[in-house]
Amino acid sequence: MKAVFFAGGLGTRLSEETTLKPKPMVEVGGKPILWHIMKMYSLHGITDFVVLGGYKVDAIRSYFLNYHKLSGDFTIDLSNGEIIWSRPSAEPWRVTVIDTGPDTMTGGRLKRARDVIGDDPFCLTYGDGVSDVDVTRLIEFHRANGVWATVTAVSPPGRFGVLSFDPDGKRVDAFREKASADVGLINGGFFVCERQVFDLIDGDDTVWEQEPMRRLVELGQLAAFRHTGFWQAMDTVRDRSVLEAACASGAPWLSLPNRDER
Protein backbone atom coordinates (compact mmCIF):
# COMPACT_ATOMS: atom_id res chain seq x y z
CA MET A 1 0.00 0.00 0.00
CA LYS A 2 1.20 3.50 -0.84
CA ALA A 3 1.02 6.54 1.43
CA VAL A 4 0.30 9.81 -0.37
CA PHE A 5 1.11 13.24 1.08
CA PHE A 6 -0.29 16.69 0.27
CA ALA A 7 2.90 18.77 0.19
CA GLY A 8 2.28 21.65 -2.19
CA GLY A 9 0.69 24.46 -0.17
CA LEU A 10 2.22 27.85 0.59
CA GLY A 11 2.25 27.51 4.38
CA THR A 12 1.57 31.24 4.82
CA ARG A 13 0.91 31.00 8.57
CA LEU A 14 4.42 29.65 9.00
CA SER A 15 6.00 32.27 6.76
CA GLU A 16 9.00 32.67 9.05
CA GLU A 17 10.04 29.18 7.94
CA THR A 18 8.43 28.77 4.53
CA THR A 19 9.94 31.73 2.70
CA LEU A 20 12.82 29.51 1.59
CA LYS A 21 11.29 26.03 1.84
CA PRO A 22 7.89 24.31 1.63
CA LYS A 23 6.23 23.51 4.94
CA PRO A 24 6.86 19.73 4.74
CA MET A 25 10.59 20.52 4.74
CA VAL A 26 10.45 22.56 7.97
CA GLU A 27 12.51 20.65 10.52
CA VAL A 28 11.42 19.17 13.82
CA GLY A 29 14.15 17.55 15.88
CA GLY A 30 16.63 18.06 13.06
CA LYS A 31 14.53 16.28 10.42
CA PRO A 32 11.86 17.61 8.01
CA ILE A 33 8.38 16.98 9.35
CA LEU A 34 7.72 15.02 6.14
CA TRP A 35 10.45 12.58 7.22
CA HIS A 36 8.69 12.13 10.57
CA ILE A 37 5.40 11.29 8.84
CA MET A 38 7.12 8.79 6.56
CA LYS A 39 8.87 7.21 9.53
CA MET A 40 5.53 6.90 11.30
CA TYR A 41 4.02 5.03 8.34
CA SER A 42 7.11 2.84 7.96
CA LEU A 43 6.60 1.55 11.50
CA HIS A 44 3.39 -0.01 10.14
CA GLY A 45 5.13 -1.54 7.12
CA ILE A 46 4.22 1.17 4.59
CA THR A 47 7.36 2.32 2.79
CA ASP A 48 6.13 3.34 -0.68
CA PHE A 49 5.44 7.09 -0.66
CA VAL A 50 4.03 9.60 -3.15
CA VAL A 51 4.67 13.28 -2.41
CA LEU A 52 2.30 15.74 -4.09
CA GLY A 53 4.53 18.79 -4.36
CA GLY A 54 3.86 22.27 -5.68
CA TYR A 55 5.26 25.30 -3.87
CA LYS A 56 9.09 25.06 -3.87
CA VAL A 57 8.90 21.40 -4.92
CA ASP A 58 12.59 21.52 -5.86
CA ALA A 59 13.49 21.63 -2.15
CA ILE A 60 11.67 18.33 -1.67
CA ARG A 61 13.31 16.85 -4.76
CA SER A 62 16.75 17.93 -3.61
CA TYR A 63 16.28 16.46 -0.16
CA PHE A 64 15.45 12.99 -1.43
CA LEU A 65 17.90 13.05 -4.33
CA ASN A 66 20.68 13.74 -1.82
CA TYR A 67 19.29 11.65 1.04
CA HIS A 68 21.69 8.77 0.48
CA LYS A 69 24.70 11.08 0.27
CA LEU A 70 23.79 13.03 3.39
CA SER A 71 22.89 10.08 5.60
CA GLY A 72 25.59 7.52 4.71
CA ASP A 73 29.22 7.15 5.76
CA PHE A 74 31.76 7.24 2.96
CA THR A 75 35.43 7.29 2.02
CA ILE A 76 36.53 9.48 -0.89
CA ASP A 77 39.78 9.26 -2.80
CA LEU A 78 40.51 12.90 -3.54
CA SER A 79 42.98 12.02 -6.28
CA ASN A 80 40.35 10.52 -8.56
CA GLY A 81 36.99 11.27 -6.89
CA GLU A 82 36.18 7.60 -6.18
CA ILE A 83 33.62 7.24 -3.37
CA ILE A 84 33.19 4.10 -1.31
CA TRP A 85 29.98 4.00 0.73
CA SER A 86 30.52 2.13 4.00
CA ARG A 87 27.03 2.60 5.46
CA PRO A 88 24.04 2.93 3.16
CA SER A 89 20.98 4.96 4.01
CA ALA A 90 19.05 3.31 6.85
CA GLU A 91 15.62 3.95 5.38
CA PRO A 92 14.40 1.37 2.85
CA TRP A 93 11.85 3.74 1.37
CA ARG A 94 10.62 4.26 -2.17
CA VAL A 95 9.72 7.93 -2.67
CA THR A 96 7.99 9.41 -5.72
CA VAL A 97 7.96 13.23 -5.87
CA ILE A 98 5.44 14.82 -8.25
CA ASP A 99 5.15 18.47 -9.20
CA THR A 100 1.37 18.98 -9.19
CA GLY A 101 1.62 22.72 -9.85
CA PRO A 102 1.96 25.71 -7.54
CA ASP A 103 -1.71 26.77 -7.74
CA THR A 104 -3.46 23.39 -7.82
CA MET A 105 -5.90 22.65 -4.98
CA THR A 106 -5.63 19.54 -2.81
CA GLY A 107 -8.18 17.52 -4.77
CA GLY A 108 -6.54 18.47 -8.04
CA ARG A 109 -3.13 17.43 -6.71
CA LEU A 110 -4.51 14.02 -5.83
CA LYS A 111 -6.17 13.51 -9.20
CA ARG A 112 -2.98 14.48 -11.06
CA ALA A 113 -1.25 11.56 -9.33
CA ARG A 114 -3.90 8.99 -10.19
CA ASP A 115 -1.72 7.00 -12.60
CA VAL A 116 1.17 6.88 -10.12
CA ILE A 117 -1.06 5.85 -7.20
CA GLY A 118 -2.81 3.14 -9.21
CA ASP A 119 -6.01 1.25 -8.45
CA ASP A 120 -5.12 -0.21 -5.07
CA PRO A 121 -6.30 1.31 -1.77
CA PHE A 122 -3.92 3.97 -0.46
CA CYS A 123 -3.26 6.08 2.62
CA LEU A 124 -3.55 9.85 2.29
CA THR A 125 -2.58 12.64 4.65
CA TYR A 126 -1.10 16.10 4.97
CA GLY A 127 2.63 16.80 4.93
CA ASP A 128 2.56 18.94 8.05
CA GLY A 129 1.19 16.89 10.95
CA VAL A 130 2.04 13.85 13.02
CA SER A 131 0.13 11.48 15.26
CA ASP A 132 0.48 8.22 17.13
CA VAL A 133 -2.62 6.93 15.36
CA ASP A 134 -2.51 3.17 14.89
CA VAL A 135 -2.27 3.06 11.09
CA THR A 136 -2.55 -0.73 11.06
CA ARG A 137 -5.87 -0.61 12.90
CA LEU A 138 -7.00 2.33 10.79
CA ILE A 139 -6.55 0.26 7.63
CA GLU A 140 -8.28 -2.73 9.23
CA PHE A 141 -11.20 -0.48 10.26
CA HIS A 142 -11.46 0.89 6.72
CA ARG A 143 -11.54 -2.56 5.17
CA ALA A 144 -14.10 -3.81 7.67
CA ASN A 145 -16.49 -0.97 6.84
CA GLY A 146 -16.29 -1.41 3.06
CA VAL A 147 -16.40 2.31 2.28
CA TRP A 148 -14.61 4.42 -0.33
CA ALA A 149 -12.80 6.53 2.26
CA THR A 150 -12.07 6.66 5.97
CA VAL A 151 -10.95 9.79 7.81
CA THR A 152 -9.24 9.88 11.19
CA ALA A 153 -11.30 12.00 13.60
CA VAL A 154 -9.33 13.74 16.35
CA SER A 155 -9.89 16.27 19.11
CA PRO A 156 -8.00 19.49 18.39
CA PRO A 157 -5.60 20.70 21.09
CA GLY A 158 -7.11 23.45 23.26
CA ARG A 159 -5.57 26.82 22.54
CA PHE A 160 -7.79 29.70 23.65
CA GLY A 161 -9.62 30.53 26.84
CA VAL A 162 -13.41 30.15 26.90
CA LEU A 163 -15.57 32.98 28.25
CA SER A 164 -19.10 32.71 29.59
CA PHE A 165 -21.31 35.71 30.31
CA ASP A 166 -23.93 36.78 32.81
CA PRO A 167 -27.59 36.92 31.69
CA ASP A 168 -27.33 40.46 30.27
CA GLY A 169 -24.33 39.41 28.16
CA LYS A 170 -22.18 42.32 29.23
CA ARG A 171 -20.01 40.89 31.99
CA VAL A 172 -17.85 37.78 32.04
CA ASP A 173 -18.95 35.44 34.82
CA ALA A 174 -16.51 32.56 34.14
CA PHE A 175 -13.26 31.87 32.34
CA ARG A 176 -11.55 28.55 31.69
CA GLU A 177 -9.15 27.04 29.24
CA LYS A 178 -10.85 25.55 26.20
CA ALA A 179 -11.33 21.79 26.32
CA SER A 180 -11.57 19.55 23.28
CA ALA A 181 -15.25 19.01 24.11
CA ASP A 182 -15.88 22.65 23.17
CA VAL A 183 -14.97 21.94 19.56
CA GLY A 184 -15.72 18.26 19.05
CA LEU A 185 -13.94 16.04 16.57
CA ILE A 186 -12.24 17.40 13.46
CA ASN A 187 -10.64 16.06 10.30
CA GLY A 188 -7.21 14.90 11.46
CA GLY A 189 -6.10 13.68 8.05
CA PHE A 190 -4.71 10.13 7.93
CA PHE A 191 -7.22 8.89 5.38
CA VAL A 192 -7.50 5.50 3.74
CA CYS A 193 -9.02 5.72 0.26
CA GLU A 194 -10.22 3.51 -2.56
CA ARG A 195 -9.78 4.31 -6.26
CA GLN A 196 -13.42 5.51 -6.49
CA VAL A 197 -12.48 8.79 -4.80
CA PHE A 198 -10.71 9.96 -7.96
CA ASP A 199 -14.08 10.10 -9.75
CA LEU A 200 -15.34 12.61 -7.16
CA ILE A 201 -12.64 15.15 -8.08
CA ASP A 202 -13.54 17.45 -10.96
CA GLY A 203 -10.20 19.09 -11.67
CA ASP A 204 -7.32 21.27 -10.49
CA ASP A 205 -9.62 23.71 -8.67
CA THR A 206 -11.24 21.02 -6.54
CA VAL A 207 -10.48 21.16 -2.83
CA TRP A 208 -10.37 17.64 -1.40
CA GLU A 209 -11.92 18.73 1.90
CA GLN A 210 -14.95 20.31 0.21
CA GLU A 211 -16.93 18.78 -2.66
CA PRO A 212 -15.30 15.30 -2.73
CA MET A 213 -15.79 14.79 1.00
CA ARG A 214 -19.34 16.14 0.86
CA ARG A 215 -20.09 13.70 -1.97
CA LEU A 216 -18.63 10.87 0.08
CA VAL A 217 -20.95 11.78 2.94
CA GLU A 218 -24.00 12.02 0.65
CA LEU A 219 -23.19 8.59 -0.78
CA GLY A 220 -22.67 7.08 2.68
CA GLN A 221 -19.10 6.23 1.71
CA LEU A 222 -17.10 8.08 4.40
CA ALA A 223 -16.27 6.37 7.68
CA ALA A 224 -14.58 7.93 10.71
CA PHE A 225 -11.84 6.26 12.74
CA ARG A 226 -11.73 7.93 16.15
CA HIS A 227 -8.29 8.62 17.57
CA THR A 228 -7.88 9.92 21.12
CA GLY A 229 -4.08 9.88 21.36
CA PHE A 230 -1.42 12.32 20.23
CA TRP A 231 -2.14 14.51 17.22
CA GLN A 232 -0.50 17.78 16.24
CA ALA A 233 -0.49 19.78 13.03
CA MET A 234 2.15 22.40 12.27
CA ASP A 235 0.30 25.50 11.10
CA THR A 236 2.18 28.16 13.06
CA VAL A 237 5.53 28.82 14.72
CA ARG A 238 3.85 28.00 18.04
CA ASP A 239 2.81 24.60 16.66
CA ARG A 240 6.39 23.95 15.62
CA SER A 241 7.54 24.71 19.17
CA VAL A 242 4.98 22.24 20.52
CA LEU A 243 6.30 19.59 18.15
CA GLU A 244 9.91 20.33 19.07
CA ALA A 245 9.05 19.83 22.75
CA ALA A 246 7.20 16.59 21.97
CA CYS A 247 10.13 15.38 19.89
CA ALA A 248 12.54 16.10 22.74
CA SER A 249 10.26 14.13 25.07
CA GLY A 250 10.32 11.00 22.95
CA ALA A 251 8.32 11.76 19.79
CA PRO A 252 5.19 9.67 20.49
CA TRP A 253 4.46 9.37 16.76
CA LEU A 254 7.68 7.33 16.32
CA SER A 255 6.60 4.51 18.64
CA LEU A 256 4.31 1.63 17.78
CA PRO A 257 1.10 1.65 19.85
CA ASN A 258 0.68 -0.86 22.64
CA ARG A 259 -2.36 -2.67 21.33
CA ASP A 260 -2.78 -4.59 24.59
CA GLU A 261 -3.84 -1.31 26.20
CA ARG A 262 -6.43 -0.38 23.57
The pLDDT tens digits for 84-134 are: 877 666 688 999 999 999 999 999 999 999 999 999 999 999 999 999 999
Instruction: Kindly indicate the confidence band of residue 262, based on its pLDDT and cuts at 50, 70 and 90.
Output: very low
Contact 97/185 with Cβ under 8 angstroms?
no
Summarize pLDDT for 162-215 with one digit per residue, the tens. 555 656 654 555 555 555 555 578 899 999 999 999 999 999 999 999 999 999
Percent of the chain residues topping a pLDDT of 90: 68
Upper half-sphere CA count for residue 30 (Cβ side, 13 Å): 2
Summarize pLDDT for 248-261 with one digit per residue, the tens. 999 999 988 766 54
In a domain, 171, yes or no: no
From residue 212, alpha-carbon distances to 91, 116, 122 in Å are 34, 20, 16
In a domain, 173, yes or no: no
In a domain, 166, yes or no: no
In a domain, 176, yes or no: no
Burial bucket for residue 184 (CB in 10 Å: 0-12, 13-18, 19+) = exposed
In a domain, 251, yes or no: yes
In a domain, 167, yes or no: no
Q: Find the CATH number of the domain harbouring 16.
A: 3.90.550.10
Q: CA-CA distance, 125 to 3, in Å (whole number)?
A: 8
Query: What's the whole-model pTM score?
Result: 0.86
In a domain, 65, yes or no: yes
pLDDT at 71: 78
The strand pairing partners of 174, in sequence order, are 164
Give the chain's domain count. Answer: 1
